[in-house]
Amino acid sequence: MNNEIVALEDAKISVMDHGLLYGDGIFEGIRFYNKKAYLLEPHLKRLTASAKALALDLPKSICDLTSTLQNVIDAYKEHQGYIRLIVIRGKGPLGINPALCKKPELIIIASPLNMSDEKAQQNGIRTIISATRRIPADCLDPRIKSLNYLNAILARIEANNAGVEEALMLNQQGFITEGTVDNIFIIMDGELCTTPSIDGSLAGITRDLILKLATESGIKTNIKSLAAYDIYAADECFLTGTGAELIPVSEVDGREYDASPGPVFKQLKELYQMSLMQ
């Protein structure tokens, strides 16, 4: 926390911090492999953009953030894991006015994170389309990776109650946005499709990588609005994210895919794993 490495149980923030009181803060989830942060540059670029959008000053320069993050990775007991880099508004009096918070706080957490087990990778996960709609992009831009996940949590509660592993969320126009914490891809007629940020999806770092890997391997890609019909009628479906990595989907609202994981997913997962070694 800030400039000191402490055990998780000893980490503390003020109860008056606006990150705790109002969700006023931003974060990035970053994987590291062999003691090296993966895709760090685009993650820090997105963190900087989120900070600018919220008029939130980063407590360190990008150079110093990079160095501090590496110190945390070096101190972590494992050679691979997950970093949660958080910047919160800081302490202030009750009330939402950010101008009354004088010093933003930096928190970097190193932890294991496994969002899918071997069974999910072999057989895919079951999903539903949630009744909870994604907050419209003209109300809260989804490109801001903020601490406020209540919208997604409500959808995840629906998934829990339905006995499935994930929920897909629609926007106010009825188009698919993403999962609760992951971007969505489908394969239809040999084309890899995913949803645009303007529809309410996060501009995911792993999403961008998968689009790049697909293009380089000759797979046609398309970023376009997707309706529930497109998800139901697709040949394959899978989810991506820094935490999720790549997760195949076996069914949506009880509609099962013929192959899960499908051939395109398997190809892209192999390319993704190869990219980790570079």
Q: Can you give the residue ranges of every domain in the chain?
A: 8-111, 118-275
| pLDDT grade for 117, boundaries at 50, 70 and 90 | confident
Nearest to 184 by CA among 261, 134, 231, 239: 239
Catalytic residue (choose from 12, 91, 103, 145): 145
Buried b (16+ CB within 10 A) or exposed e, 26-57: bbbbbbbeeeebbbbebbbebbeebbeebebe
**CB contact at 8 A, 239 and 250:** no
Known active-site residue 91: no
- Distance set, CA 207 to CA 57, 105, 139, 187, 246 (Å): 27, 29, 23, 14, 10
Confidence at residue 118, expressed as pLDDT on a 0 to 100 scale: 84
| pLDDT grade for 254, boundaries at 50, 70 and 90 | very high
Contacts of 75 (CB under 8 A, 6+ apart): 5, 110
Residue 114, pLDDT > 90, answer no
| pLDDT grade for 1, boundaries at 50, 70 and 90 | confident
Beta strand 183-188 pairing with 191-194:
antiparallel
Confidence at residue 115, expressed as pLDDT on a 0 to 100 scale: 72
Which residue in the block uniquely carries the two structure tokens 């057989």? 123
Architecture per CATH, domain 8-111, reads as 2-Layer Sandwich (3.30)
Confidence at residue 218, expressed as pLDDT on a 0 to 100 scale: 96
Residue 79, pLDDT > 90, answer yes
Which residue in the block uniquely carries the two structure tokens 């055990």? 7
% of the chain exceeding 90 in pLDDT: 88
| pLDDT grade for 275, boundaries at 50, 70 and 90 | very high
- Phi/psi for 186 (5° steps) reads -130, 155
Beta strand 25-33 pairing with 183-188:
unpaired
Inter-helix orientation angle 62-75/40-53, to 10°: 130
The answer to whether 8-111 and 118-275 have equal CATH topology is: no
- Classify burial at 103, counting beta carbons within 10 Å of its beta carbon; exposed 0-12, middle 13-18, buried 19 or more: exposed
What is the average per-residue pLDDT within 259-276?
Answer: 94
In angstroms, rounded to a whole number, what is the distance separating the alpha carbons of residues 50 and 37? 20
What is the average per-residue pLDDT within 205-231?
Answer: 97
In angstroms, rounded to a whole number, what is the distance separating the alpha carbons of residues 157 and 131? 11
Average pLDDT over the chain reads 94
- Name the token pair of 220: 């046609």
Confidence at residue 2, expressed as pLDDT on a 0 to 100 scale: 65
Residue 98: is the preceding peptide bond cis (ω within 30°)? Answer: no
pLDDT in tens, 34-74: 999 999 999 999 999 999 999 999 999 999 999 999 999 99
**Is 3.20.10.10 the CATH number for 118-275?**
yes
